[in-house]
């Protein structure tokens, strides 16, 4: 009898939230995907200032942490932020949210 496992990328992270700490950084938090389809090795985070006139800022966690500090963001701007989970197969679909940092 053979058992075949279908290995796939993780689902999207859930419940992305942002906390403005001060003028120099923000803290992003999220919940892990409902189905990780394996062990989450890291999360990739991208912040794109809106309107998209500048290069995106991309960073990643070094493990399965569901929180990251992001520096160098303009506290008076709007950003599109995406987070995607990565397992040994690859990166899954991102969760994408737009945040207006000036709104606090």
Please give the share of the chain, as a percent, with pLDDT higher than 90: 57
CATH H-level superfamily of 14-103: Immunoglobulins (2.60.40.10)
103: left (phi over 0), alpha (psi -120 to 50) or beta: alpha
Question: Which tops the pLDDT comparison, 92 or 56?
Answer: 92
pLDDT digits (tens, 9 = 90+) for 33-80: 999 999 999 999 999 998 876 778 889 998 989 999 988 888 888 899
Q: 87 is written with which tokens?
A: 């397992």
pTM of the model: 0.85
């Amino acid at each position: 009898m053979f058992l075949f496992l279908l290995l796939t990328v993780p689902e999207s992270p859930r419940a992305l939230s942002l906390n403005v700490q001060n003028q120099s950084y923000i803290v992003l938090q999220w919940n892990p995907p409902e189905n990780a389809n394996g062990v989450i090795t890291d999360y990739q985070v991208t912040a794109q200032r809106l309107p998209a006139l500048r290069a995106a800022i991309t960073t990643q966690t070094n493990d399965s942490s569901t929180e990251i500090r992001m520096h160098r963001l303009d506290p008076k701007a709007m950003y599109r932020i995406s987070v995607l989970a990565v397992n040994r197969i690859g990166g899954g679909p991102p969760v994408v949210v737009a945040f207006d940092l000036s709104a606090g």
